[in-house]
Structure 1
């Protein structure tokens, strides 16, 4: 079915414009689920026309109200808009819902609610860490020494003075904004420091973070929210830039793009692959429930990409937070594109932050070829 979703008499020229029109139309007609997405969307005057069929337009509205919209994303390379719904779209629904609009494709995916949870499950790999030539690899378990928990050591980075740091999420090593500078980061994380683990050691000490501040976009500047933390490496000879035993951290950082095939190595699920299906068209509300730090709040992020795992398997699970996301550059080489920070395990979705912006904000460069 063809449809037109536009503001005034102007047809959308980009997938992002169409996605924003869908969001505004959905807000005006109360089609969002109970997640706080509505607070991030402007309710502009957008019209929905289904081939001039008013009855069909009303039916579409009723279906999406029942299914409830969680999130809307877009892909410029594929000229596509993705509507993430709380309920599954049925075969009967598909006969009524629009799949094309103004030259763009519309896709429906169940899911879209982003969550950050503590208390990660046991690793699905033999061990939650790897040693390459006796050195601790990226993609392995880490966590502050004063808490029982575990996340992922994403990558090694270098500052303008040549000093080396480890990078992960704020909610992993930054204690959700509360880590004191110098706080020891343990490898493996205390949760994984079992009788079968290597000798735990202080891989580094907390140095700096990008915050995760709660509050709706109308009240706070959400552009500062990036959920990233770096820790100064205590002994650079004890770590390697290898991502597990799979591959070296790429030397090049590139922007993530919908349609990219990606992979990561993480503490819980190890090496997995997936597809970037969309970039969010609006700020994404992420629900944080991190018992290790007593944190429960909603945090909005402006720049988020959504990944679906391959072979109906999750791209990431709790404990994989902080994992580096890499893609093929089309010429047989890998590029680093993002950092895993949230997920929706039930629907096999992961949410990643774009790495180029992170590196720019912290004035860092990626490290490759370190003890490989």
Structure 2
């Protein structure tokens, strides 16, 4: 509809809203969730808009949509947002403690490992699973399918009672060239998860192909050690990345290189973090290694497996929310 028409409809519905929902001050809420619909304009073409209605629950739009004809309803964009809350980034201290439901960025590890990061969630043969690195969930090939995964990791106080998942699959390292350092662990019965609980909200439901990642794209991650950080892709399709593990050096091809925008992008314990593109929140990499030197700011470089390669290798499907 035309912008002026939409503004008139907005004013009319806002008046109806005022009648149906009297003003409520925060002190009057008594712990209840405030579900009053929000109304705005959503551009759809030059000079034309839809009326944007945002509600916490689907039923909350009913008072506004009653008596509207089908032609007008076709020009309304209704979206259920759930409760809207202030957004903040979790601190490393929050990410390192025992947390339920599980969410990306938390400390997690095999019982024989210190601690890494729960990168995100995937489905493996229809089952919801944790995604992280081989060296985090499978102890660099020393673990076995069926082993426990703890949250938090042992370095953060995790004990057998903190078991949350079962190691399900991992890509073993080879003496030749490796593509991924990755593993998945299916959630144990009764363990709940919030895949979309990230700074800024859920990530996109699609995963970037490694070939689509361009140098200088700004990216973000949330990890167990450094929390929410921002960086820049400085190289793609990087071959010959030699990583020093406890059992020796393993070499990786076709990797993504990232440096922090201000200070380091990652540090030890951030391994397993999923990295996403700031512009569209599309996930593109699985963080697995880094250095404390190099980069334009001298704060080190971070390396990530292309997430599309990780998922294809493990036969996993990305779960955004």
TM-score of the two chains, using structure 2 as the length reference = 0.64
Select the structure that is richer in strand.
Answer: 1
3-state SS, counterpart of residue 312 of structure 2: helix
Gaps of 5+ in 1: 1-122, 289-294
Residue of structure 1 equivalent to 2:114: 149
- Is residue 2:171 matched to residue 1:205? no
Residue of structure 2 equivalent to 1:45: none
Query: Are 2:217 and 2:277, in contact at CA under 8 Å, matched by a contact in 1?
Result: yes
**How far has the Cα of 1:190 moved from its partner?**
1.2
Query: Are 2:122 and 2:316, in contact at CA under 8 Å, matched by a contact in 1?
Result: yes
Q: 2:252 aligns with which of 275, 298, 301?
A: 301
- Is residue 2:220 matched to residue 1:254? no
**How far has the Cα of 1:170 moved from its partner?**
0.4
- Is residue 2:292 matched to residue 1:338? no
3-state SS, counterpart of residue 308 of structure 2: helix
Query: Are 1:248 and 1:368, in contact at CA under 8 Å, matched by a contact in 2?
Result: yes
Query: Are 1:304 and 1:353, in contact at CA under 8 Å, matched by a contact in 2?
Result: yes
Residue of structure 1 equivalent to 2:8: none
After TM superposition, list the pairs within 5 Å mapping 1:213-232 onto structure 2: 213=174, 215=175, 220=176, 222-223=177-178, 225-232=179-186
- Is residue 2:127 matched to residue 1:127? no
Q: 1:176 aligns with which of 112, 137, 140?
A: 140
- Is residue 2:189 matched to residue 1:239? no
3-state SS, counterpart of residue 185 of structure 2: strand
3-state SS, counterpart of residue 221 of structure 2: strand
Q: 1:265 aligns with which of 213, 222, 228?
A: 222
**Matches of 2:205 and 2:96, distance apart in 1:** 22
1:155-210: CA deviations, max 9, x gaps? 10012x3111111000111111121111100001111127xx9x962110111111
Go from structure 1 to structure 2 and tell me whether the alpha carbon gap of 1:210 and 1:149 turns closer, same or farther (over 3 Å shift). same
Query: Are 1:140 and 1:244, in contact at CA under 8 Å, matched by a contact in 2?
Result: no
1:294-351: CA deviations, max 9, x gaps? x23111111111101011x1111000000000003x4xx3101000000012332101
Gaps of 5+ in 2: 1-89, 295-299
Go from structure 1 to structure 2 and tell me whether the alpha carbon gap of 1:200 and 1:324 turns closer, same or farther (over 3 Å shift). farther
Query: Are 1:131 and 1:137, in contact at CA under 8 Å, matched by a contact in 2?
Result: no
1:15-59: CA deviations, max 9, x gaps? xxxxxxxxxxxxxxxxxxxxxxxxxxxxxxxxxxxxxxxxxxxxx
- Is residue 2:129 matched to residue 1:165? yes
After TM superposition, list the pairs within 5 Å mapping 1:1-372 onto structure 2: 125-129=92-96, 134-145=100-111, 147=112, 149-159=114-124, 161-193=125-157, 201-213=162-174, 215=175, 220=176, 222-223=177-178, 225-235=179-189, 237-255=191-209, 256-288=213-245, 295-311=246-262, 313-328=263-278, 330=279, 333-347=280-294, 348-369=300-321
**Matches of 2:93 and 2:316, distance apart in 1:** 33
Structure with greater contact order relative to length (CA < 8 Å, sep ≥ 6): 1
RMSD: 2.5
**How far has the Cα of 1:244 moved from its partner?**
4.5
Query: Are 1:166 and 1:232, in contact at CA under 8 Å, matched by a contact in 2?
Result: yes
3-state SS, counterpart of residue 138 of structure 1: coil
Query: Are 1:129 and 1:137, in contact at CA under 8 Å, matched by a contact in 2?
Result: no
TM-score of the two chains, using structure 1 as the length reference = 0.56
**How far has the Cα of 1:243 moved from its partner?**
4.6
Answer with 358-367 or 181-190: which moved more. 358-367
**Matches of 2:228 and 2:320, distance apart in 1:** 18
Query: Are 1:128 and 1:192, in contact at CA under 8 Å, matched by a contact in 2?
Result: no
**Matches of 1:175 and 1:131, distance apart in 2:** 21
**Matches of 1:237 and 1:286, distance apart in 2:** 33
